[in-house]
Amino acid sequence: MSETWRIDGADPAALDFVASALALVVRAGDLIALTPAAGDRPDRFAAALIEHVGGGHETPRLSIAQLDASGGAAGLADALERGLALVRCGGQALAEDALEIDLAEAGALTLRGHGAWAGRLARLRAMAGFLERAAPGRPKLGFLQGDASTRAYARVATPERACILMDAPRQPDGPAIRDGKPYSAIAHLAEDVRPFVAVAGALRAAGLSAPEILAHDLENGFLLIEDLGDRVYGDEIAAGRDHVEIYRPAVDALLALRETGAPERLDLPGGAYRLPPYDEDAMTIEVDLLLDWYWPATQGGAAPGAARAAFHELWREQFAFLARQPVGWVLRDYHSPNLIWLPEREGAKRVGMIDFQDALRGPQAYDLVSLLQDARLDVPAAVERALFAHYCAACERNDPTFDTTDFSRAYAILGAQRNTKILGIFVRLDRRDGKPDYLAHLPRVTAYLERNLAHPDLAGLRRWYDAHLPPETRHGRRPA
């Protein structure tokens, strides 16, 4: 299988654009073959690719080795083990999966993707076509570190403004795991960019700082969106900024969103999007991540059937309580990696919001606990109590039906549910996806879980955790 992308009129600006686009998608284990050509075009292309990947052969993101085809299989294997291999060759086949860069024809550039590179090159070509329509003039592209998902991001510098390219191919449903449905369908996870576009429009209509959608290709999963900058909450806190200074506006943004309500249908170009419910099935499949990933990692085997059944029964009781609570927005990942400080704006607009494509309709305490029990950084208990009280006081002023006691219980349930889920997710990221850095957050997440299990109405759940996952397996212990 192969794919070809030919670019005529490949002047130096075009070569640099292609190199910058290619730099967004290369990864360790990639083989790129540069075929011989007259002049210095191959040298300039190689230099541009190296510069766009990170400025040198050894970067925090990727190691790049430049080799000659005569260097032998051992040298190539070693280079691929450490990172990207950029090989000068005479057109001979170096591997089944390779990207060939052919600059031999004057004024042209031909890329040929072989094997696994065929699909990747087709995606790269589609991305370049989207950018030509959305931001003509071959803008500069800069790699941006993504999140734990399969989405990729790049900063796009145009003469008019800076913006962000989101590359989010539609995700396959995956195998059926329960009642004939895959995990993503049960948990109501976004499978394409349509939810992001719809939710962004609703948040902006509510007066909040979600990024403006500047251009979109909903079918292929490309978006060009407003660049809200680099002042991510986690970085601001690490630099010494006071929690309350930036967290209180984030709470105020949730209060503003509470006032708007969460409609079942959101506007979408060419149609509408139905905002899914945060129902019992979704909450259950999420807490099951603890049994499916965290339990085996800490206990050395699968969770027994009796323990699993008791776990489900105890959670079912709590979920029944949540089902009786008022329904509103659940942005789902409202925490430091997805919040950007915008001090030049006013009020709740000082909080830039991203990564909300998995939003739901459900219990309104969820986003507050996501913010105040941040899995990625420590939120002092005193700050959590003060901002929780601030939220409840505002609700009591604005809504005579607001019940602080019920909301406090909902907050504890959702905190326990969310932190239970995260324990499973972080172990899964390590074991399945090869991302061990997330394990460093487990002690913090278990500490939050303890706060929530201390609520009197969660006593049954606390007894289950103490009996089946004793404190010595939870408190700061990383899976072996």
Q: What is the pLDDT of residues 49-80, one digit of tens each?
A: 988 887 655 666 788 888 876 655 667 778 88
Distance CA 446, CA 420 (A): 8
- Tell me the β-bridge partners of 101: 34, 111
Asked if 2-118 and 229-474 have one fold, the answer is: no
Measured CA to CA, the distance from residue 305 to residue 284 in angstroms comes to: 16
Does residue 249 sit in helix, strand or coil?
Answer: helix
CA atoms of 444 and 380, how far apart (whole Å): 11
For the domain bounded by 2-118, which CATH number is listed?
Answer: 3.40.50.300
In eight-state DSSP terms, residue 293 is I
Looking at residue 232, what DSSP letter applies? B
Per-residue pLDDT of the chain (480 residues; tens, 9 = 90+): 889 999 998 888 888 899 999 988 898 899 999 888 767 888 888 899 988 887 655 666 788 888 876 655 667 778 888 888 888 876 555 678 899 999 888 889 999 999 999 999 999 999 999 998 998 887 888 888 765 567 888 999 887 788 999 999 988 777 888 888 999 999 999 999 999 999 999 999 999 999 999 999 999 999 999 999 999 999 999 999 999 999 999 999 999 999 998 999 999 998 999 999 999 999 999 999 999 999 999 998 999 999 999 999 999 999 999 999 999 999 999 999 999 999 999 999 999 999 999 999 999 999 999 999 999 999 999 999 999 999 999 999 999 999 999 999 999 999 999 999 999 999 999 999 888 999 999 999 999 999 999 999 999 999 999 999 987 776 555 555
Provide the residue ranges of all domains of the chain, joining segments of one domain with +.
2-118, 229-474
The CATH homologous superfamily to which domain 229-474 belongs is Aminoglycoside phosphotransferase (APH), C-terminal lobe (3.90.1200.10)
**Which backbone phi and psi does 130 adopt, to 5 degrees?**
-60, -45
Which pLDDT value is given to residue 150?
A: 72
**CB-based contacts of 343, cutoff 8 Å, min separation 6:** 231, 350
| Measured distance CA(230)–CA(458) in Å, rounded | 39
Q: For 386-390, which contacts have Cβ atoms below 8 Å and span 24 or more sequence positions? A: 386/244, 387/244, 387/247, 387/248, 387/251, 390/248, 390/251
Mean of the per-residue pLDDT values for the chain? 90
